[in-house]
Structure 1
Amino acid sequence: MQDNDIQPTNIESRSRDRRGAEEIALLISDLIASGEIGPDRRIGTERELARRFGVTRNLLRGALSMLEESGTIRREKGRNGGTFLNDKRLERDLSSIVGLPQLLKAQGMVAGTRVIRTALTEADALVANQLAIDIGDYIFEITRIRLGNGLPISLEHMVLPADRFPGLLDKPLGGSLYELLASDYSVKPLEATERIEVRPAEPSESQILSVSTGSPLFYVTRITKDVDGQPFELSHDLFRTDRVLIYVKSFGSN
């Protein structure tokens, strides 16, 4: 028998199928994160999805099983069945400093980001005081929408001192900013002070977050300091109250 006549073993075939399923699962996750599929919470039947991705239904089932195990989707049978995105709320513990993408992934959700504005501006008196810089110093402003399973969770507006992070706006800003600052600038968060309020959504915010004007939003103001106690981030975040649960762990004294 020639080499080109050798047929794959069952183990090789299963391994190839698993790799194929992982690729399809990753593709579906990317489309969910971008908001391209699933805006109505239903992402289609097996037949529809298999046709869309040009794969067999067996291979698609493997991909959907992976996403179901991670908690990203659920599958329902019956006349009105199909594949649906899970509607669970993100739990955010203010007792620890964790980037939102890492938090979403840990809770079985697909993280996504849309950067809607970046700018180089000058610090006014309030920003200068909060970041311990001089009035008129250059600052970076970054505004992003955070998505969970393709749906908006929060609207972030971040301010950082430009002289500490040269070239920041030229870097990919779709992931965790803390991971980016740690890897490229050796700056790690040690302490964050956060103030939480509830306020109604303004018209521009309601459009971005897909809520009605006047809907309650968590408004979180955060100042983050590095290991030397120097503030490096001022952030104003708006969270949808129907998609995020905020809690704090407290400990008694001995």
Structure 2
Amino acid sequence: MRNLEVGGEALGDMPDLQAPSTDPSHARIASWLLGRFGAGRIRADDRLPPEEQLAAALGVSRMTLRQALGSLESRGFIERRRGRSGGNFVREPLIEVDLSGLPGFTELMRRANVRAGARIVRAGLVEATSEIASALDLGRQRDVIEVVRVRSARRRPLALEETYLPAQLFPGLLDRSLTGSLYGLMREHYDLSPHHAQEWLEPEIVSDEHAVLLEIEPGSAVMLVTRKASTSSGVAIEFARDRYRPDRTRISLNTGVDPGAGAELLVEPV
């Protein structure tokens, strides 16, 4: 842990808050601090200068500074700790996990400008459980390809992926490299890829096995994303359970209003 000093080498030059701008001062202060983090001048677990001292150096009121720090706190960049050794501490930025548009993990990390990594826990042919068989519309052929991987970002575990694919649709998949994008393999070698999906998001308490794989404490909570995906023609090709560490990720979705649903809500009962 480092204690940053106002005007010190870590923080660098103060922002010019008198320069013309359409952004309010607190937003410019937040952007400036983010820039210090992005440039490597501020690191995770650094303690920022006391609020009174930092506000004076910036030439703003403590209220304005607290608005800036509150904005960063809500976005996961700052943690406020109480007590004699407390203060405003820099956190590792949360990685945005934008599930819109059915991206795979590799694409998610590309969007977040983070290099994706993968460690295979197990991969093989297994018999589908009733839940998986129902999700994949399997008949008598109950064999599925199971791929379980720990996905990492910034060289630390971020998610645990548990993926099941119909074996008859992807012959030879297990002979290929499984450390990259599975969706990429599906498109390139089998001309199949997810086009529609139904996803469920719910918190889950991790098992001891999952805690070890994700390098978190047993009994910790994760965000479980369960997914059933199909092709544009309606062929079910994937059932997956992805478990994300909430201390390292923030899940987002881009949504819109269904015009049909809106029209229905406007109809008054007779």
TM-score (norm 2): 0.61
Q: What residue in structure 2 maps to residue 158 of structure 1?
A: 163
**Alignment-derived partner of residue 7 in structure 1:** none
Equivalent of residue 76 in structure 1, options 38, 41, 66: 41
Partner of 1:27: none
Q: Does 1:88 align with 2:93?
A: yes
CA contact (8 A) 2:222 2:246 kept: yes
1:115 aligns with 2:125: no
CA distance in 2 between partners of 1:123 and 1:102 (Å):
28
Say which SS state the counterpart of residue 102 (structure 1) adopts. Answer: helix
Q: Match of 1:139, SS? A: strand
Structure 1 residues 182-193: aligned runs within 5 Å: 182-193=187-198
1:222 equivalent to 2:227? Answer yes
CA shift, 1:122, in A, is: 1.8
Rate the CA distance shift 1:74–1:209 in 2: closer, same or farther, 3 A. Answer: farther
Letter in 1 for 2:132: V
Aligned residues: 179
Deviation per CA, 1:212-238: give whole Å up to 9, x if none.
111110011101101111110000111
SS across alignment from 2:139: coil
Q: 1:93 to 1:76 in 2, by over 3 A?
A: closer
In the TM superposition, what is the alpha-carbon distance from 1:204 to its structure 2 partner? 1.1
Distance 2:145 2:179 in 1: 16
Q: Residue by residue, what CA displacement relative to the aligned partner does 1:88-142 show, whole Å, maximum 9, x if unpaired?
A: 2221223311111122122121210001101211223322211011245211100
Aligned amino acid, residue 40 of structure 2: R
Q: Structure 1 or 2: larger strand share?
A: 1
Instruction: Indicate the residue corresponding to 1:248 in structure 2.
Output: 253
Map 1:11-26 onto structure 2 (within 5 A).
none
Which residue of structure 1 lines up, in the alignment, with residue 173 of structure 2?
168
Q: Could you give the per-residue CA deviations for residues 137-187 of structure 1, whole angstroms, max 9, x where no partner exists? A: 211100000000101010011111111000000101111111110000000
For residues 176-211 of structure 1, the C-alpha deviation after alignment (integer angstroms, 9 at most, x for no partner) is: 111110000000211111111101122111111111
Counterpart CA distance in 1 for 2:258 and 2:228 is 26
- Structure 2 CA distance for partners of 1:210 and 1:104, relative to 1, 3 Å: same
Give the share of equivalent positions with the same residue, in percent.
31
TM-score (norm 1): 0.65
Determine if the alignment matches structure 1 residue 204 to structure 2 residue 209: yes
In structure 1, C-alpha distance between the alignment counterparts of 2:189 and 2:164, rounded to whole Å = 18
Runs of 4+ in 1 over 6 A off after TM superposition: none
Q: Take 1:173 and 1:189, find their aligned partners in 2: how far apart are those partners?
A: 17
**Distance (Å, rounded) in 2 between the aligned partners of 1:190 and 1:132:** 16
- Which residue in 1 is equivalent to 2:264? none
1:137 to 142, 150, 153: 142
Listed one character per residue, the Cα deviations across residues 24-62 of structure 1 (whole Å, up to 9, x for unaligned) are: xxxxxxxxxxxxxxxxxxxxxxxxxxxxxxxxxxxxxxx
Distance 1:199 1:125, change over 3 A: closer
Q: How does 1:40-55 map to 2 (within 5 A)?
A: none
CA distance in 2, matches of 1:226, 1:253: 22
**Structure of greater Rg:** 2
Letter in 2 for 1:75: G
